[in-house]
Chains A and B, each alone.
Chain A
């Protein structure tokens, strides 16, 4: 089984950056990808607004951050639990539509409609994940694929609730009696959400749960032999990644003030998986980088007009052929090889 053969390499990035176990204490902590990385992320997020010349840059940055949030969650599932979801766009869109419908049709305040919608999506993920994750193999991929397509068809057809294929308007977010609008406040909220998601993901991976997940990604049988309930941990991570996707979806809906069924499309699910794999499976920073590069790339490729899809496909194939591990783990490997 190829998965078992390179488990040590696959889980490498998390540990290989840390110089050596002997170097103890504060310096090591800071050099670790956790503390150092989180500080760097906070710094980048705080400094970026200073160099943004106009609102367009804010819009793109918010888009990048929202995709990165979904991808960090999805990467927990793909990279650490070793399962693919081909329906995460469904969870993302349901989070957005759920909150939008509660807020627009029943006048719920957004601070209440968002968590309720997100919790409902979590329950749906649990219902789908529970029977399928007990099976060995990539059955979750197929179940989520089915669920995602059904969600997108339902959203297009139930036009009394969802506005049909044209989408629906979403009421703005109200916090502490104030309408959140404009680019800077939204940038702050989304940036904070991204930082919290990365922090949560890094902690999860360094916790006993993370170790259990990596063990069962390597060899499920071996992990079960030492007492890891693989189905239970996989289910937990799957539900958590769905909750994260739904949160990002709800934020997107209230930020954009509009939502369409395209958000739930199979193509969008595929895009999310591509971001994770492109950036690097089992690398939290890879998910952030993948989301950033692949959100920005189409902005540049639009000049190619008709050749856009072709070029995107070619870039994807080339990346996977030459960097099968993804961009960030490959670069980390090159950098650590350069060191004495």
Chain B
């Protein structure tokens, strides 16, 4: 065993990367409709569980992983099309109603998973073996590197999407001012659809990358969803850079807190952080002061 500090940092970055992916999903949906999508954690579960089933059919792990992310993307599209869009079309759905709908979606998806699979915990084989390797004085499993690499790749691809493609720019425009975006000919419905699909795929990526380490089950999304939300808050809800920074920071705080302070209160750290952020810097780490629209 190497230096305990490095060991905790490695563990913290690994779980922080997952929080970052979930937090990105929260921010994307928040930007599209100002609602907090409480089904975000369930997308993580869908990804992990789908990958487990696909691997069980004999597919190679890489193919199964990509297919699982695609399946989650489709689930995201369906959620928007079947639950969010009808509510918004009636024109009476305010943000609170949308939030309650996403809670309903979370319960529904968890219920379906419970029927489709079962209530047991499922492992997914590691992508490239379980032989621990030494990195910077810490001993890590190769899967940790997959988690960090996969997350970095996803963040880069997302950055390219939002800054270089027309669709990404349309989504940013909608986030700033939906009405003005609509007047410029941007379909805000389309933006909603893409937002949910993207959020679902990011969550699912987190789910498949981490399933070999932490395993997966039908209710894995509850805590991951709440912690991802805490990470998004920490970074400033709606900010992409903030989501990534918030996720990694939260993972580190949690791992160091569990290692040096109290492992029984590991799960509480994220929520102490939420309260600290709200009391002392409500805009989040990178949140700019925004003017109030009346």
Which A residues have a C-beta under 8 Å from some C-beta of B? 1-4, 6, 78, 84, 128, 131-132, 135-136, 138-139, 141-143, 145-147, 149-150, 153-154, 157, 219, 221, 266-267, 270, 273-274, 277, 281, 306-317, 320-321, 324-325
Contact = CB atoms under 8 A, between A and B. Distances in A.
Contacts of B164: none
A267 B114 CA distance: 17
Given A3-B94, A142-B233, A146-B274, A320 B294 contact: no
A31 B106 CA distance: 41
B278 A143 contact: yes
Given A313-B111, A321-B101, A84 B265 contact: no
A313 B105 contact: yes
Interface string B237-278: 000000000000000000000000000110110011011001
Given A219-B294, A325-B92, A149 B115 contact: no
Nearest to A320: B101
B109 interface: yes
Interface in B97-121: 97, 99-101, 103-112, 114-115
B108 A314 contact: yes
Given A146-B272, A153-B265, A266-B222, A321 B111 contact: no
A1 B293 contact: yes
B294 A1 contact: yes
Contacts of B133: none
* Interface secondary structure of A, over-half rule: helix
A128 B275 contact: yes
Contacts of A312: 107, 111
Nearest to A310: B111
Contacts of A310: 107-108, 111-112, 114-115
Nearest to B230: A146
Given A145-B274, A146-B230, A317 B108 contact: yes
B87 interface: yes
Contacts of A2: 94-95
Contacts of B278: 131-132, 135, 139, 142-143, 146
Interface of B: 36, 38, 83, 86-87, 90, 92-97, 99-101, 103-112, 114-115, 222, 226, 229-230, 233, 264-265, 267-268, 271-272, 274-275, 278-279, 282, 292-294
A317 B230 contact: no
Contacts of B101: 316-317, 320-321
Contact of B111 (A143, A274, A311): A311
Given A146-B230, A274-B100, A321-B101, A313 B108 contact: yes
A297 B228 CA distance: 31
Give the most central of B104, B115, B268, B272: most A CB within 10 Å: B104
A203 to B, nearest CB: 25
A142 B103 CA distance: 15
Contacts of A154: 268
A244 to B, nearest CB: 20
Contacts of B267: 149, 153
Contact of A273 (B36, B100, B229): B100
Instruction: Please list the 4 inter-chain residue pairs (A to B) with the smallest Cβ-Cβ separation, ordered nearest first.
Output: A310-B111, A313-B108, A313-B107, A309-B111
Contacts of A306: 114-115
Contacts of A219: 294
A149 B265 CA distance: 11
A273 B96 CA distance: 10
Contacts of A274: 100, 103
Nearest to A136: B292
A320 B100 contact: yes
B274 A143 contact: yes
A56 B293 CA distance: 52
A309 B83 contact: no
A149 B107 contact: no
15 contacts: A84-B96, A131-B278, A131-B279, A142-B229, A147-B271, A149-B271, A150-B271, A157-B264, A267-B222, A277-B96, A281-B96, A310-B112, A313-B107, A317-B101, A324-B87
Contacts of B294: 1, 4, 219, 221
B103 to A, nearest CB: 6
A239 B88 CA distance: 32
B265 A157 contact: yes
A337 B294 CA distance: 32
Contact of B275 (A135, A147, A309): A147
A317 B93 CA distance: 12
B115 A145 contact: no
B80 to A, nearest CB: 12
Contacts of A325: 92
Contacts of A281: 96
Given A150-B271, A221-B294, A324 B110 contact: no
Nearest to B83: A317
Nearest to B115: A306
A273 B95 CA distance: 14
A311 B87 CA distance: 19
A149 B268 CA distance: 7
Contact of B95 (A78, A138, A139, A143): A138
A6 B83 CA distance: 22
Given A150-B271, A313-B104, A313-B108, 13 more contacts: A132-B282, A145-B229, A145-B271, A146-B274, A150-B268, A150-B272, A219-B294, A274-B100, A310-B107, A312-B107, A320-B101, A321-B83, A321-B86
Contacts of B108: 309-310, 313-314, 316-317
Given A146-B272, A273-B100, A308-B111, A324 B282 contact: no
